[in-house]
Amino acid sequence: MIENNDNLKKLINLSKEKGLKLTPQRMVIFRILSESNQHITVDTVYQKAREEYPMLSLATVYRNMEQMVDAELLTQLDLGGTSMRYDTNLDEHHHFVCSKCGKVFDVYLDDVNYTLDEGRSQLGNARVNSLDLHLQGTCGECL
C-alpha cells in the first residue's frame, strides 16, 4: 500500500525539500519508481504510468525524470546499453550489469573508494567529485 511505502515517502519528502511540485503525474512516477526493485528506464516508467494515467505523454515522463535528476532525487546511469537507467538509491555505490539478461545490481565496494582516495596523488591538482564504476559479467541466475 502506498501509505506504507518508505521509498515513496522518501521521494515525496525530498521533492518537497527541493521545491518540486507534487503534481498528479509526478506522484504516479514517484510511485512507480518507489515500487521498482530495479534500475528502471524511462520507457518502463512510461508504460506503467500509462496504465493508470492514459493521457500521460512520454515527453512528460522524460521532463519529470530530468527534473528529478537535476534535483538529485535520482541518479542517471549510462551503463552502456541503449537506454539510460535511473536509480533511486542515493547511497554511494556501484553497479554490476549482467551481459546476458541485462539486470543491474547495486554493489558496495569500499575498497574502490579507498583506492580512489589513495590514487588522488596521481591526478595532480584535479579533484574527483564522483566515481561511477560498473562491473560487467554474468549474474548467478544466468550462469
Three-class secondary structure of residue 111 per DSSP: helix
Judgement on whether residues 81 and 100 belong to the same structural domain of the protein: no
Range of the domain at 131: 94-137
Query: Would 143 be classed as within a structural domain?
Result: no
pLDDT, residue 7, reads 81
Do 56 and 100 belong together in one domain?
no
**Are residues 8 and 27 located together in one domain of the fold?**
yes
Q: Is residue 112 part of a domain?
A: yes
37 pLDDT more than 80: no
DSSP state of 141: T
Please state, in angstroms and rounded to a whole number, the distance separating the CA atoms of residues 70 and 82: 22
pLDDT tens track for 66-112: 999 999 889 998 887 767 899 988 888 888 989 898 888 888 877 55
Would residue 115 count as lying in a domain?
yes
Task: Indicate whether 107 and 83 sit together in one domain.
Answer: no
Question: pLDDT tier at 1 (50, 70, 90 boundaries)?
Answer: very low
Same structural domain, 10 and 25: yes
In the chain, the number of structural domains is 2
For residue 113, what is the domain's CATH number?
Answer: 3.30.1490
Could you give the maximum distance between any two Cα atoms of the chain, in Å? 54
Answer yes or no: pTM beyond 0.95: no
Residue 82 in domain? yes
Same domain, 68 and 25: yes
Tens-place pLDDT, residues 114-136? 555 555 556 666 766 677 788 88
Residue 76 and residue 13 share a domain: yes
Each as own residue / partner, the long-range contacts of residues 60-63 (CB below 8 Å, 24 or more positions apart, any chain) are 60/25, 61/29
pLDDT higher than threshold 80 for residue 2:
no
Is residue 57's pLDDT more than 70? yes
